[in-house]
Structure 1
Amino acid sequence: MRPQIILFGDSITEQSFRYGGWGASLTDTYSRKADIVVRGYGGYNTRWALFLLHHIFPLSSTMPPVAATIFLGANDAALPGRTSERQYVPIEEYKENLRKIVRHLKECSPTMLIVLITPPPIDEEGRKEYATSLYGEKAMELPERTNEVTGTYANGCVEVAKELGVASINLWSKMQETQGWQKKFLSDGLHLTPDGNGVVYEEVVRVFKGAWLSATEMPSDFPHHSEIDPNDPQTVFQQRRL
C-alpha cells in the first residue's frame, strides 16, 4: 500500500486539485510514490476543524499518513463586526487550536511529518472588488479581512510550529517578497491563482525534501515496465515480494 500524505485545511486546500492547483502538482510529483489525500473544507476555521480530527486522523488507524499539511487561519482571521465575523476566532484560541491539532497528529503517529502553513496575505482592494462583484452597492465599505491582522495569525502559526517542533511555511511573508503579489498570487484578494498555487507547491516540496520525504528517493509501488521480462514477468514481482 502506498503511503498517504493528507492535505488538511480550508477552501485553499479544497481547491488545490483545480487546474494548476498545488495539491494536483503534488500528486504528479509523488505519482506511484504516495497518495495525496485532500481534506479541504471551504469556510472552516480551526475551531470547526477540531471536530474533524478523529474522522480524518483516527487514532485507531494501523496505517496513519506519513505526512500532513495543516493549512488553516485565513478564516480565523476574519474581523469581528464585518461580513465574515461568524468565522472569526481570536488569535490565542487559534494558536491553541493549532496546538490541539498538532498534538492529535503526534498521538496518531509520532513519526508523521507535520507542516503548518500560514494563511496567505490579503489584498484588501482585491477583496473589496470581489465583494462589489457579488453584492454591488450593498457591499460593505470596510474589508472583512486585513493584511495586517492576517499577518498576526501567520506569526502565531509560525510560533506554534517552533514551540511544538514541527515544520512551518510562512506563506504570508513569502508571497509578499514578490512585487505585484496582490494580482500575481491572489484571484480574489484571498484565494490563489495558478502562480499562487505554484508558491505553495514549491514551498511544500522544499520542506518535504528537507525532511525525509523526497519523491525521487521514495520507492515506486510496483516495478517499472522496463524491469519486466516479457518471457518471465512473474520473477520481478516475486523479487519485490509484492
Structure 2
Amino acid sequence: MRPKIVLFGDSITEGSFADGGWGASLANHFSRTADVVLRGYSGYNTRWALEVVERVFQFGSPAEEAAPLAVTVFFGANDASLPDRSSAFQHVPLHEYKQNLHAIISFIKKQWATTFILLITPPPIDEEGRLQHPYGESPDGLPERTNEAAGAYAKACISVANESSLPVVDIWSKMQQFPGWEKACLSDGLHLTASGNRIVFEEVVEALKKDGLRLETLPADLPLLSEIDPQDPLKSFRN
C-alpha cells in the first residue's frame, strides 16, 4: 500500500488543501510516493481534538491501518483564544494545552511506534487583522486573540516537543522574521495567505527531510515513465 502522511489540526490544517495551501503542496510534493491525508477541523482546540482522536485515526479495515509515515499535529491557535472575549468557548488554559498535546502524542505513539510525529506551533496573530475580521461581537473593540498569547502557546508547544524528544516547526517565530508578515502571511490576522502557506510547507518538508522522509529515499508506488522499456512496456509492471 502507498504510505500515508496525516495532517491533524484545526482550520489552518482543514484549509491547507485549498489553492496554494501547504497541505495541497505536500500532496503534490509526495504525489508518487505517499498519500497526504487531511484531518483538519475548523475551530477545534486540543481539548476537543483529544476527545475525538480515536475516531480521527480510524482509516478503515485493519489492513488499511498500517502505520503512517508521519503525522503533523498543528493546534494552539484556538486554545490561545482569550478567556474573556468572544472566542472564550475555544480557550484552553496553557497547562491543559500542554497536557492535551502530550496525550495526543501518547495516543499516536501507542498506535504506531514507528510513526514520525511533527508538532507545529500556532502562527502569530495580527491583532489589527483580527479586529477587521472579528469572530462574534466585540463590544470592547478588542481582538479575541493576541500575538502575546499565541507566543505563549507556541513556547508551550516547543516545550512539549522537547519533553517528548520530538521535532517542532516554530511557525510563530519563523513568520515574524519576514518584513510585513502581518499582511504578507495572514489573510485575516490568523489564517494563512499563499505566502504563509508556503512557509509552512517549506518548514514541514525540511523537518521531514531531517528524519529521512525525502523524495530521494521514498520509492514510487509504480514504475516511473523513465523506467519503462519502450520496446517491452509491460515488462516493467510484471517485475
- Which runs of 5 or more structure 1 residues have no equivalent in the other structure? none
Aligned counterpart in structure 2 of residue 81 of structure 1, from 65, 84, 89:
84
Task: Verify: 1:90 aligned to 2:93, yes or no.
Answer: yes
Give the equivalent residue in structure 2 for 1:45: 45
Helix, strand or coil at the partner of 1:216: coil
Taking the aligned partners of 2:83 and 2:109, their CA distance within structure 1 comes to: 32
Give the equivalent residue in structure 1 for 2:56: 56
Helix, strand or coil at the partner of 1:141: coil
Q: Which has the higher helix share?
A: 1
Helix, strand or coil at the partner of 2:101: helix
Taking the aligned partners of 2:38 and 2:24, their CA distance within structure 1 comes to: 10
Taking the aligned partners of 1:237 and 1:140, their CA distance within structure 2 comes to: 66
Give the superposition deviation at 1:147. Answer: 0.4
Helix, strand or coil at the partner of 1:81: coil
Give the equivalent residue in structure 1 for 2:210: 210
Give the equivalent residue in structure 1 for 2:18: 18
- Which runs of 5 or more structure 2 residues have no equivalent in the other structure? none
Alignment of 1:83-232 (within 5 A): 83-131=86-134, 140-232=140-232
Give the superposition deviation at 1:231. Answer: 4.9
| Greater mean alpha carbon deviation, residues 210-219 or residues 227-236 | 227-236
| Greater mean alpha carbon deviation, residues 24-33 or residues 60-69 | 60-69
Contact 1:58 1:108 in 2 (8 A): no
Taking the aligned partners of 2:29 and 2:93, their CA distance within structure 1 comes to: 37
Helix, strand or coil at the partner of 1:215: coil
Contact 1:57 1:108 in 2 (8 A): no
Identity value in percent: 53
Helix, strand or coil at the partner of 1:36: strand
Contact 2:119 2:166 in 1 (8 A): yes
Taking the aligned partners of 2:65 and 2:77, their CA distance within structure 1 comes to: 32
Contact 1:57 1:64 in 2 (8 A): no
Give the superposition deviation at 1:120. Answer: 0.2
Give the superposition deviation at 1:230. Answer: 4.8
Deviations 1:175-219 (Å, cap 9, x if unpaired)?
Answer: 111111000000000000000000000000000011110123211
| Greater mean alpha carbon deviation, residues 101-110 or residues 55-64 | 55-64
Q: How many residue pairs align between the two structures?
A: 236
Contact 1:131 1:139 in 2 (8 A): no
Aligned counterpart in structure 1 of residue 74 of structure 2, from 71, 76, 91:
71
Give the superposition deviation at 1:131. Answer: 2.2
Taking the aligned partners of 1:187 and 1:216, their CA distance within structure 2 comes to: 34
TM-score of the aligned structures, taking structure 2 as reference length: 0.94
Taking the aligned partners of 1:19 and 1:91, their CA distance within structure 2 comes to: 33
Deviations 1:126-170 (Å, cap 9, x if unpaired)?
Answer: 1001129x86xx654011111001100000000000100111011
Taking the aligned partners of 2:214 and 2:229, their CA distance within structure 1 comes to: 29
Contact 2:7 2:37 in 1 (8 A): yes
Helix, strand or coil at the partner of 2:77: coil
RMSD: 1.7
| Greater mean alpha carbon deviation, residues 220-229 or residues 19-28 | 220-229
Helix, strand or coil at the partner of 2:134: helix
